[in-house]
Structure 1
Amino acid sequence: MFPNESTDEDQFPEEFPDPDQFPDVLPELTVYLNAAGIPTFYDVEENLLFAHGPTVSRARARYSEHVTIGTRYMQPGYCAAAYVPDSPPDYHKIATVYDDPNPDMRECAKAVIDWFTRPRISAGGVLMAALSKRSIPVCTDDLGLSYAVPLDPATPAAEIFQRPHIAIGDRNPSIDHPADTHTGWIVQLVDRDNEPIGPPLFKGSDWVDCEADSAAAADVIARLLYRPTT
């Protein structure tokens, strides 16, 4: 995350925000974010303010997408970065939300608020568009964890999960995560009990471009469904 170097006074000229003084701006920064419906908590050891989605509990915040806010190291201003878990305790940085010498922390707060509130297309939406482009029918389970493509297009939607089908999931494992946090689709042929049949038909790499990965997965499914029969 942000560098956590020594904070001796002689290392921080007067014009730089001393990390030891970061807690002084926390009350005002927290008020701005909380007023916008964004929960926060302060990590004393890391000297960072954590911001997370309103539907995520504090206990789960580190295990889902979150934004950390702190001072810029040896430079004026504040910085904020968005992370998602990557084989915890490691994290994968998905975006620099704010990094500016402006000493007004309200500008940093505005950037964090925009990050959580601006419309963001989901990875599932990108995949659905790729499947639709190839005329591939699909439905989702009740938990929002996977998609199912029927082997027979005439299969009623209510019966797809009760028959052998093509299951599509993500390493995330949600299918509704933002496209910029996509970690690769896994396409698997499964039986009526949802047990795998053979190896995966497609397995995307970690942290891939969602649009390209969705197109590649859809192409694999299209070749299986529409391959010539003899």
Structure 2
Amino acid sequence: MIQKIADFSADTPSEDDSLFERIACGVESQGYVILPTALPGPVGDSLLQYLSLLEEERFHQARIGRGIEQTRNQFIRRDKIVWMDSLHPEACTWFNWTARLKTYLNRRLFLGLFSFESHFARYHSGDFYKKHLDAFRGESNRVLTLVTYLNRGWEPGQGGELVLYAPDEGAEITRVVPTFGTLVIFLSEEFPHEVLAADRDRYSVAGWFRVNGSINQQIDPPR
């Protein structure tokens, strides 16, 4: 039986401890965890406020690949994104919460997580992202993917599900309806996934916990 660490930081709320332990147990036992509507209310509210302040032109067509090899390919993905600024007034609650999660997972699972980055993603009706991995073995320092959703009143029949696939045989594991505050966390190198088209606009936050891949004054990640 997995025991909760007794000396975890005293200033972390107990409700966060409980949620973080559920995340740790899922990652440890099966490499992923899905927690419907589990994002703390103040964190979700701050993300919605941040999103509401973004101007339309800030969203740009998402790319595939890394660094100078990044390209736009609308046959693979059609979402638009805005990278989040950790210094934005409405971002503090989100980045403080993910920092506490990073600390907990490092103490609990010894993952060596070093940094965190995230962006808003907007899918217009009909947009999609074909099956892909967030990281390839030995080619990226993304370790853990975190996704949450900002769609109130989403109905199961409206589409837009995240489809998670098994690492080896590629069989479908589950489909996640993008309801507000649902959390999806999985090992970035292990689980292929895709986003299905929806019949309404769909908003999410995707983030990645990373190890330190900076070498010889070359800062990682490249953007």
Same fold (TM over 0.5): no
> TM-score normalized by structure 1?
0.24
Higher-Rg member (1/2): 1
Q: Which has the higher contact order (CA 8 A, sep 6+)?
A: 2
> TM-score normalized by structure 2?
0.24
